[in-house]
């Protein structure tokens, strides 16, 4: 939790402000999970702060959504090309993901 929290602070993901009386505050919660080695043994404990967007209403609290998803066929295509061209393949474990950009609207989380 400390590592995730420090990443949120370091990236200036949010700042603490007084709650306006008429604001719809989107709540969040900590999600905990375990990562395992290929042999089934415990590798590490993971914690992520997740915003619970189900309390928002389309057209009222948000207009667009964005979800970064890689389709399996994309991975298969990339791996096939890499194998055909004998390219080296490396795995990357991303610790924190942030959408870098500025919101046009005001959001309270």
User: pLDDT for 93-106, tens place per residue?
Assistant: 666 666 566 667 66
Statement: residue 87 has pLDDT above 90: yes
- Looking at residue 92, what is its pLDDT? 75
- Looking at residue 73, what is its pLDDT? 92
Q: Is residue 106, in this structure, part of any structural domain at all?
A: no
Q: Does residue 31 or residue 79 have the better pLDDT?
A: 79
Q: Is residue 103, in this structure, part of any structural domain at all?
A: no
Tens digits of per-residue pLDDT, 22-78? 877 777 788 888 888 889 898 888 887 777 766 666 666 555 555 667 788 988 999
Return the SS3 of 43.
strand
Q: Lowest mean pLDDT: which of 10-19, 39-48, 57-66, 83-92?
A: 57-66
Q: Is residue 82, in this structure, part of any structural domain at all?
A: no
- Domains identified in the chain, total number: 1
Q: Is residue 78, in this structure, part of any structural domain at all?
A: no
Q: Is residue 49, in this structure, part of any structural domain at all?
A: yes
Q: What residues make up the domain containing 37?
A: 2-63
Q: Is residue 104, in this structure, part of any structural domain at all?
A: no
CA-closest candidate to residue 102, choices 18, 12, 23, 5: 12
Q: Give Cβ neighbours of residue 62 (< 8 Å, ≥ 6 apart).
A: 53, 56, 105
Q: Is residue 32, in this structure, part of any structural domain at all?
A: yes
pTM for the model: 0.44
């Amino acid at each position: 939790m400390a590592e995730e929290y420090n990443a949120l602070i370091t990236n200036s993901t949010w700042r603490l402000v007084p709650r306006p009386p008429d604001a719809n505050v989107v709540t969040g919660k900590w999600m905990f999970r375990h990562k395992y080695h290929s042999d089934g043994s415990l590798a590490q404990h993971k914690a992520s702060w997740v915003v619970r967007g189900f309390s928002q209403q389309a057209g009222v609290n948000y207009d667009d959504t964005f979800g970064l998803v890689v389709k399996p066929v994309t991975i298969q295509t990339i791996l096939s090309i890499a194998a055909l061209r004998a390219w080296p393949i490396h795995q990357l474990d991303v610790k924190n993901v942030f959408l870098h950009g500025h919101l046009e609207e005001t959001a309270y989380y």
